[in-house]
Structure 1
Amino acid sequence: MKVTAYERSVQGTGASRRLRNSGKTPGIIYGGTDLPQAVELDHNALFHALKKEAFHSSILDIEIGGKVTQALLRDFQMHPFKPLVLHIDFQRIDATHKVHVKVPLHFKGEDTCPAVKTGGGVINHITNEIEIECLPASLPEFIEVDLSAMVVGQTLHAKDLTLGAGVALSLHVEHENPAIVVARMPAVSGGDVPTGAPEAPAAPTATKLKDKEGKE
């Protein structure tokens, strides 16, 4: 994806506020052998780009003054309640060095798997992204997760994922092997009474007790 940015010469809180008031977003590009570079981007274009899944996990071509720098989105700050991007961070990449990045998981086969179709179960999604490491050229936009064979009681872990060539789980993910999805039976409310269950006998009322005592 291509991003257009402009060099930002004036920095500071006041300068950033004026920049935002003019429809721009301050940012920074860091990493690699070059010094960190302060930049500014068109806010509306950036706001819409952040809504795209690929913008968060793809290598971005950032053009600054005719020069293109490849980078990854690393962080951004939003206003607490306004649709306003306050600041954004990018990290430069090197084609010869591996990157560590979280990529989204795309699930398929959930509605037709045995757990749901014949087992009456539900699929519980524990996470929708996973951290991987790979060379920039091997970075996938997403990882597809096939759930079509899942049965009730089965748990799919990180090591069960099928990764592309040259792609591996990050070391801590490999070590922890967290659960991705679980096929389970839906929870039953404690107040529900199974069909056909005998009803508890009603407690005698005060009137009935009085009548009974009067007859004795």
Structure 2
Amino acid sequence: MKVVAFLRTEQGSGASRRLRTAGQTPGIIYGGTEAPVSISLDHNALYHALKKETFHSSILDMEIDGKVQQVLLRDFQVHAYKQLVMHADFQRVNSSEKIHVKVPLHFVNAETSPAVKLSAGIISHVLTELDVSCLPKDLPEFIEVDLANMEVGNSLHLSNITLPEGVTAIVHGDDPTIATAAIPAGKVEAAGEAAEGAAPEGEEKK
């Protein structure tokens, strides 16, 4: 994805307010061997870009004064109640150095899994993104999680999914749970009540 930014010379809260009034969002680029650079971006373009999942987990081509450099979105701040992006932070990317990024998980085949199709169960997504380390060229837009074999009472763990080549998960714990499958509580209770109300075999219900 391409982002167009402009060098920003004025600093301070007053300058930032003037930028926002003019439809611009202040930001900064840091990292690598170069000094941090203050920038501004078109607010509407940035606001809509932030709604796209890939903008948060992809290498971005940022153009400043005709020169393009690769960056990652690292942080952004929004107004407490207005649809206004207050600030955005970007980190320079070195093609030969590994990066640490949160990548979204895309769950597929839930509707055809035994848990849903045969048991009318619900699959809960315990994690929706995964911390990974990789070279910029290996960064995936998302990681696919196949739920086709999920059964009620089972859990899917990190060790059960295949990561893209060159991508390593940064694990917090032994083998984190990705998803679980269970019968909804209401259905379990209803089934229990039905079983209690059923007459024993060979007896008539009074």
TM-score, normalised with respect to structure 1: 0.86
Compute the displacement of 1:110 (Å). Answer: 0.3
Q: Which amino acid aligns with 1:103?
A: V
Q: TM-score, normalised by structure 2?
A: 0.90
User: Which residue number corresponds to residue 181 of structure 2?
Assistant: 183
User: How many residues get paired?
Assistant: 196
- After TM superposition, list the pairs within 5 Å mapping 1:1-216 onto structure 2: 1-170=1-170, 172-173=171-172, 175-188=173-186, 194-195=193-194, 197=196
Cα deviation code 1:26-65 (max 9, x no counterpart):
0000000000000000000000000111100000000000
- Could you tell me which amino acid in structure 1 is paired with residue 101 of structure 2? V
User: Displacement, 1:190?
Assistant: 9.9
> Cα RMSD (Å) of the superposition?
1.7
Deviation at 1:160, TM superposition (A): 1.9
% of aligned pairs identical?
56
Change (3 A) 1:153 1:104: same
Structure 1 residue ranges, 4+ long, deviating more than 2 angstroms after superposition: 188-193, 195-198
Shift of 1:176: 3.9
For 1:190 and 1:119, the matched residues in 2 are separated by: 11
CA distance in structure 2 between the aligned counterparts of 1:43 and 1:9, rounded to whole angstroms: 18
Change (3 A) 1:127 1:119: same
> Corresponding residue for 1:214?
none
Once the two structures are TM-superposed, the CA of residue 164 in structure 1 deviates from its matched residue by 0.8
CA distance in 1, matches of 2:196, 2:189: 13
Structure 2 unaligned spans of 5+: 198-206
Larger radius of gyration: 1
In 1, the alpha carbon distance for the partners of 2:88 and 2:24 equals 11
CA distance in 2, matches of 1:156, 1:191: 25
C-alpha distance in structure 1 between counterparts of 2:195 and 2:38, whole Å? 71
